[in-house]
């Protein structure tokens, strides 16, 4: 039997009156690829009997019992150990999942591989009190200092393992401690917009019982997850547990870890997250974009500018401890990187930053300047922006007649996101840009060579030379702009290329981007191929594997 996508672990201790309601909220949630593990924690009421009936009624339900552990962390961890799903939700038996919560959280995790957890947008209280709250998009820094996620947040089993599961020394705050542990392990979080979690309000719950030990529990959360906190916060937490009067006298808001300014000390670096450091990097020999600064000096500048991630060769190579992801738009370099590579990368980054700055005012795109840059009207620019925004929500083909405007606009929006350090948003804009560049070429192979039917008819030796150097199985398409496909077919027939010809595609207009042009006429900066240059170019064109 194949593993389900989602496992829902329902923990229950003497919640018999609520258990069926909780489990049925999962089964009727509109997502069928799941299993439900009911973990009965030694209940003395009829909870286990109800769990057994639910198991008999639906093959997706499994009832498991154990001796009472006295806290939910133990049955949760045991249930997750038994779970087979890629994604997990831990649900208390007195709560309910709102309609669509599972599908919404699954979609959020599927869309963002860096997200270790996904949470609903809305918390709907019911029972003794009925209120509705909205969760803000996740800030890792805010999460470290105050619990801002619901207990039914979905998480990856990998993230659970990376965090070491639910800790047992923070009963009542085990959810918060766990979310901070996932963040400490390097994962981010995603909000499932529109999803709702239903939380039962009642008097005398576990949270009410832990208020008296709030300060000690917060201190344990800090010391459990030291990678998320400053040395000053760690010293406060240890002082609280040691009974230090100065630590205990720090102003104390319930469920909030106090923040302390960082002392004046040199920035510390490490390659291992098990070591305490301000920044974790893949390689201590990395070099920043400023040739006269040490790695620590370069990272200090990045941090002062408000960025928390650095890249090298297009991949993330460094993170600030306990921070929200905001990627520095200028690359770092491996030691010994050739000067030519550095110059090219820095030129690209400079263009991105200048483009982002020049075409916006305080926040949105400046319509007039952007339209002038794209060589279009403000009205046409508005239509292109709408197409780009649609592509950001749901990537797909771009209409060929709008491709150039969409590509120009996507380039600008990508630059804005990169300048802001929002790499996921920049990647989505880059996907729209790629789709625009491939508009009209959806059936083409990876490498595209442009040609013109009228020129091939007048100069058939061009097509003949191309066929000599490009085989039918090569990962290359000759995209031919043709008003009259009949004339093009006659040229192909006269050269005897009908049966064993390279891959060719007739297109109605010049696309936004190609790799080369088969022509005797210049075409801007695009490499031009003819009888003399084809052999050299063909040496670097990749064949189909």
pLDDT tens-digit map of 141-174: 899 999 999 999 999 999 999 999 999 999 999 9
Q: How many helices (H) and strands (E) does the chain have?
A: 21, 18
**Closest listed residue to residue 24, CA positions, set 16, 7, 36, 14:** 36
Do the Cβ atoms of 26 and 95 come closer than 8 Å? no
The CA distance from 324 to 183, in Å, is 9
Q: Are residues 112 and 136 in the same domain?
A: yes
Helix or strand holding residue 48 (H, E): helix 47-57
State the average pLDDT for the chain.
89
Q: Are residues 152 and 53 in the same domain?
A: yes
Q: Is residue 69 part of a domain?
A: yes
- End-of-domain residue from the set 437, 466, 481: 437
Q: Is residue 160 part of a domain?
A: yes
37 beta partners: 9, 62
The whole-model pTM stands at 0.72
Q: Are residues 104 and 243 in the same domain?
A: no
Q: Are residues 244 and 286 in the same domain?
A: no
pLDDT > 70: what percent of the chain? 96
Alpha helices in 375-422 (DSSP H): 378-393, 403-419
How many domains would you assign to the chain? Answer: 5
Q: Is residue 348 part of a domain?
A: no
Q: Are residues 362 and 425 in the same domain?
A: yes
- Straight-line distance from the first to the last Cα atom of the chain, in angstroms, rounded to the nearest whole number: 35
Q: Is residue 260 part of a domain?
A: no
Mean pLDDT for 396-417 is 86
Q: Is residue 534 part of a domain?
A: yes
Least confident of 393-402, 462-471, 504-513: 393-402
The CA distance from 35 to 433, in Å, is 40
Q: Is residue 417 part of a domain?
A: yes
**Closest listed residue to residue 9, CA positions, set 105, 76, 103:** 76
Domain limits for position 286: 270-337
Give the model's pLDDT for residue 545: 35
pLDDT tens-digit map of 185-222: 989 999 999 999 999 988 655 556 667 789 999 999 99
Q: Are residues 73 and 132 in the same domain?
A: yes
Q: Is residue 254 part of a domain?
A: no
pLDDT > 90: what percent of the chain? 55
Q: Is residue 264 part of a domain?
A: no
Q: Are residues 175 and 94 in the same domain?
A: yes
Q: Are residues 58 and 114 in the same domain?
A: yes
Q: Are residues 194 and 293 in the same domain?
A: no
Give the model's pLDDT for residue 491: 77
Give the model's pLDDT for residue 361: 61
The CA distance from 321 to 226, in Å, is 10
What CATH number is given to the structural domain containing 47? 3.90.550.10
Q: Are residues 174 and 86 in the same domain?
A: yes
pLDDT tens-digit map of 343-401: 999 998 998 888 888 887 656 777 888 888 788 888 888 888 888 888 777 778 888 88
Q: Are residues 119 and 188 in the same domain?
A: yes
- Cβ neighbours of 45 (radius 10 Å): 14
Give residues with Cβ within 8 angstroms of 341, minimum separation 6.
Answer: 333
The CA distance from 8 to 152, in Å, is 9
**Backbone torsions φ then ψ of 388, nearest 5 degrees:** -65, -45
Q: Are residues 225 and 372 in the same domain?
A: no
Give the model's pLDDT for residue 363: 61
């Amino acid at each position: 039997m194949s593993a389900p996508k989602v496992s829902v672990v329902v923990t229950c201790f003497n919640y018999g009156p609520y258990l069926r309601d909780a489990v049925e909220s999962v089964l009727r949630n509109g997502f069928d690829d799941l299993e439900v593990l009911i973990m009965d924690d030694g209940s003395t009421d009829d909870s286990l009997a109800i769990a057994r009936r639910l198991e008999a009624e639906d093959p997706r339900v499994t009832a498991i019992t154990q001796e009472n552990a006295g806290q939910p962390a133990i049955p949760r961890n045991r249930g997750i150990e038994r779970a087979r799903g890629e994604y997990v939700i831990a649900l208390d038996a007195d709560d309910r999942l709102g309609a669509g919560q599972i599908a919404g959280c699954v979609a959020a995790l599927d869309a963002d591989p860096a997200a270790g957890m996904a949470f609903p947008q809305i918390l709907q209280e019911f029972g003794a009190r009925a209120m509705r709250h909205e969760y803000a998009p996740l800030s890792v820094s805010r999460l470290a200092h105050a619990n801002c996620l619901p207990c039914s947040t979905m998480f990856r089993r990998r993230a659970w393992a990376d965090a070491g599961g639910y800790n047992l020394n923070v009963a009542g705050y085990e959810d918060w401690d766990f979310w901070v542990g996932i963040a400490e392990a390097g994962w981010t979080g995603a909000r499932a917009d529109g999803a709702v979690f239903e939380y039962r309000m009642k008097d005398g719950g576990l949270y009410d019982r832990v208020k008296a030990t709030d300060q000690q529990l917060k201190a344990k959360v800090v010391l459990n997850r030291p990678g998320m906190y400053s040395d000053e916060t760690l010293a406060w937490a240890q002082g609280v547990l040691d009974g230090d009067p100065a630590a205990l006298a720090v102003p104390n808001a319930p469920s909030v870890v106090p923040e302390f300014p960082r002392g004046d000390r040199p920035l510390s670096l490490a390659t291992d997250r098990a070591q305490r450091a301000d920044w974790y990097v893949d390689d201590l020999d990395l070099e920043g974009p400023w040739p006269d600064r040490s790695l620590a000096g370069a990272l200090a500048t990045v941090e002062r500018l408000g960025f928390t991630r650095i890249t090298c060769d297009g991949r993330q190579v460094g993170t600030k401890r306990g921070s929200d992801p905001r990627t520095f738009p200028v690359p770092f370099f491996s030691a010994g990187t050739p000067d030519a590579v550095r110059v090219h990368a820095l030129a690209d980054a400079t263009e991105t930053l200048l483009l982002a700055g020049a075409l916006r005012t305080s926040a949105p795109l400046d319509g007039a300047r952007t339209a002038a840059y794209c060589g279009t009207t403000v009205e046409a620019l508005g239509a292109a922006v709408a197409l780009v925004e649609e592509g950001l929500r749901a990537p797909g083909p771009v209409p060929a007649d709008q491709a150039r405007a969409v590509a120009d606009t996507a380039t600008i929006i990508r630059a804005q996101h990169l300048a802001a350090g929002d790499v996921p948003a920049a990647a989505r804009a880059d996907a729209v840009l790629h789709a625009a560049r491939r508009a009209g070429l959806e059936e083409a192979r990876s490498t595209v060579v442009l040609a013109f039917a009228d020129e091939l008819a007048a100069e058939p030796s061009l097509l003949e030379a191309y066929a000599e150097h490009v085989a039918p199985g090569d990962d290359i398409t000759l995209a031919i702009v043709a008003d009259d496909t009949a004339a093009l077919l006659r040229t192909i027939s006269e050269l005897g290329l009908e049966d064993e010809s390279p891959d060719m595609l007739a297109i109605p207009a010049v696309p936004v981007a190609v790799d080369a042009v088969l022509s005797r006429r210049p075409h801007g900066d695009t490499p031009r191929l003819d009888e003399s240059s084809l052999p050299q170019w063909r040496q670097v064109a990749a064949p189909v594997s």
